[in-house]
Structure 1
């Protein structure tokens, strides 16, 4: 069972999504901090992990005293915020295929599902703790239906984007992707809802996937991959 903390692990560092409270919060660790976090999650006591990494960086010519001070402070901070507990690291792979502007058009049923999905996503994400949205997303994976094709997923996303024109506020990627996940389920299709992060530059993102592809990625944001920290999909 998840502890409510999810990890996106990359060669550039680790991004931790803490979804236990409120709307959730991201914490980005650089490669040094990520190595400390991985050592402790691997079973090392925080003090032992600090000793190991201090010795490593001293051999590289770093000031051992400063390294120890910085790592000790980081370990204490991670422990106080509950980020040294076991985390969900099941979403390990970024999808190999990225599709940009959706090509499929939404029919009438899909448009209705798009409005319903967007309404549900906005209520869940704006008025309730984000963990409730995660629970709702997992619940709809149990709806009857079949695995979505790329065209099915693009139609669901197109319907949500059409519905978003009626919303007076901004619909960000998190709301849009969750809404598309719901809209697809309401029309008998199953997509994957994913939340992840990237480094250089730091950023968090949400999207849907179908047939091994990211669906509807923004044309203006071609820096990929975002490494998933969380994927919600029907268990195989």
Structure 2
């Protein structure tokens, strides 16, 4: 069963604005046909590879901003793939980069997406029991 994620406290506009724009883009990708979604996510995440690396604290703040600003027009659930992609895009909108990671685990069998800062700090991997049953990275964008 998936754990619910509650929105953190209200963050400053310099974090909320890129998070809202990036989350809107990630949700537009979710509206694509299922056969094209993952390719579009990876293509967007790879576009930011030439930007300088982001600080782990900035990545965590942007992730919290993405979690906090679910748009009122979106009635569905926002999955980990959309949150992770939105964090990568929000970090890119601030002129920095982080890495999108797709992973899995065997017991209990599940898939997950999270973000890694340039120094290896993982953000968003603690969802769905990430500490009890660690995730194994399968694909990391450059």
Does TM, normalized by the shorter one, top 0.5?
yes
Unmatched 5+ stretches in structure 2? 1-5
1:131 aligns with 2:39: yes
| Structure 1 counterpart of 2:104 | 197
Q: Which has the higher strand share?
A: 1
Other structure's SS at 2:107 match: coil
Please point out which of 62, 78, 98 is paired with 1:171: 78
Alpha-carbon displacement from aligned partner over 1:158-188 (angstroms, at most 9, x marks no partner): 1111112633221111110010010011012
Instruction: Give the Cα–Cα distance (whole angstroms) in 2 for the partners of residues 188 and 104 of structure 1.
Output: 24
TM superposition score normalised by structure 2: 0.80
1:229 aligns with 2:122: no
Unmatched 5+ stretches in structure 1? 1-100
* Alignment check: 8 A CA contact 2:125 2:135 kept: no
Instruction: Give the Cα–Cα distance (whole angstroms) in 1 for the partners of residues 86 and 127 of structure 2.
Output: 20
TM superposition score normalised by structure 1: 0.50
Bigger RCO of structures 1 and 2 (CA < 8 A, at least 6 apart): 2
Instruction: Give the Cα–Cα distance (whole angstroms) in 2 for the partners of residues 117 and 232 of structure 1.
Output: 17
Pairwise CA RMSD: 2.3
* Alignment check: 8 A CA contact 1:152 1:189 kept: no
Other structure's SS at 1:109 match: helix
Q: How many aligned residue pairs are there?
A: 130
| Change over 3 Å in CA distance of 1:149–1:112 after alignment to 2 | same
Instruction: Give the Cα–Cα distance (whole angstroms) in 2 for the partners of residues 106 and 147 of structure 1.
Output: 22
Instruction: Give the Cα–Cα distance (whole angstroms) in 1 for the partners of residues 108 and 127 of structure 2.
Output: 17
